[in-house]
Amino acid sequence: MAKIHEVTSLLEQLAPLRYQESYDNAGLQTGDANAEVTGVLVTLDCTEAVLEEAIAKGCNLVVAHHPVIFKGLKQLTGRSYVERTIIKAIQNNIAIYASHTNLDNVLHGVNTKIANKLGLQQQRILVNKPSTLMQLVTFVPVEHTEKVLAALHQAGAGNIGAYSGCSFSVTGTGRFTPSEQAAPTIGSANQPEQVQENRLELLFPAVLQGKIMAALQQAHPYEEVAHYLYNLENQNQEVGIGMIGELEQELAEEQFLTYLKEKMSLQGLRYTSIGSKKVKRVAVCGGAGSFLIKDALRQGADALLTGDVKYHEFFDAEGRLMIADIGHYESEVYTKEIFYDAISKTFPNFAVLISEVNTNPVRYTF
């Protein structure tokens, strides 16, 4: 049987914890990481009702998008729903794992799910995240270059957007003198040596640094591997918030609202006034995404789909952008499908279930 840490490790490959925002609290919140998994229940929110469902269905791991522990807890007395949920999880040996803003910030996360639901084409991240890339520079004997490059590519280095196997190399002369304590691949102790070497340069996501360096050390022929690591300010094309893309056909604004209700299974939504403008380019952000209004405008979006828009924030559209507030829950409920697909494809030997509990605290009347 798989252990809980194996499942959470998979989820952290999908959405590395390093990509969560500084205010967030993603990761394993309760439970023994070494316990065997009896079943996984995936949900948007972890509540007491969700835990009751997990107990009834024999699941000892709940995977949620929203962390149940978001702010610091100073006591566990059952005075709030958060405290009662944690107490129930501990009493019943249920682990709770959350993948929150880290899932918002990855290419195949929350916002791609929304964009796919809407059938958006030419999708790209709305605001790319800087300072998540690194550069490796290393020096390899010419005859070993292909082996080292293959290992680095296998570990995840050299992927840039839609291109893989990317690197730069230039040939030069490496000089060194082994000491008597050295065990050189090339050369002899106390004898100056010259070797034709390739200088290799590759980009990689900073979260893969350990894996990249292990691959380099294993594949490189030298006892001492000369290398440099640089932190880059470049924007990462595969990490960032929001998504933007284009509808297959432009729609009148009123038609677009009807389209949203159908594709996102909405009971209702809030929106800016309807004009004569057509909607073709659409920006999306699951959860509370009003902070992206100006970015959507800069990138020429005709509409922004998100949730939790405040009254005065609707004015920020300035008549140039339709804002469609479909609700926080409604914009993120499909994260359950992301978790389900990832876990069930990798772990076929236990049940992965989608929670049937509607955790939306908001109700509508018409």
* Cα(267)–Cα(351) distance, integer angstroms: 31
* Cα(216)–Cα(133) distance, integer angstroms: 17
Is 100 part of any known ligand binding site? no
The pTM score is 0.90
Is 32 part of any known ligand binding site? no
Within the chain, all domains assigned CATH 3.30.70.120 are found at 133-232
Question: What is the per-residue pLDDT for 71?
Answer: 87
Q: What angle do CA 161, 163, 166 make, to 5 degrees?
A: 110
Within the chain, all domains assigned CATH 3.40.1390.30 are found at 4-100+332-354, 106-128+240-326
Q: What angle do CA 339, 344, 348 make, to 5 degrees?
A: 160
Nearest Cα residue to 134 out of 216, 24, 222, 11: 216
Identify the architecture of domain 4-100+332-354 in CATH: 3-Layer(aba) Sandwich (3.40)
Question: What is the per-residue pLDDT for 157?
Answer: 97
For domain 133-232, give its CATH number from 3.40.50.1950, 3.30.70.120, 3.90.1170.50, 3.40.605.10. 3.30.70.120
111 alpha-carbon distance from chain centroid? 10
Is 312 part of any known ligand binding site? no
* Cα(82)–Cα(79) distance, integer angstroms: 8
Question: What is the per-residue pLDDT for 356?
Answer: 97
Is 83 part of any known ligand binding site? no
* Cα(315)–Cα(245) distance, integer angstroms: 23
Question: What is the per-residue pLDDT for 43?
Answer: 98
For the chain (366 residues), the mean pLDDT of every run of 10, in chain order, is: 96 96 96 97 98 98 97 91 97 98 96 98 95 96 97 96 93 92 86 94 96 98 95 92 97 96 95 91 98 97 98 95 97 97 95 97 86
* Cα(353)–Cα(294) distance, integer angstroms: 39
Question: What is the per-residue pLDDT for 275?
Answer: 82
4 neighbors 35 (Cβ within 8 angstroms): yes
Question: What is the per-residue pLDDT for 101?
Answer: 97
Question: What is the per-residue pLDDT for 1?
Answer: 84
Question: What is the per-residue pLDDT for 290?
Answer: 97
Question: Which ranges constitute the DSSP H helices of the chain?
Answer: 4-14, 48-56, 81-91, 101-104, 110-117, 145-155, 209-219, 253-263, 293-298, 328-332, 335-346
Packed helices 4-14 and 335-346: angle between N→C axes, nearest 10 degrees? 120
Identify the architecture of domain 106-128+240-326 in CATH: 3-Layer(aba) Sandwich (3.40)
113 neighbors 335 (Cβ within 8 angstroms): yes
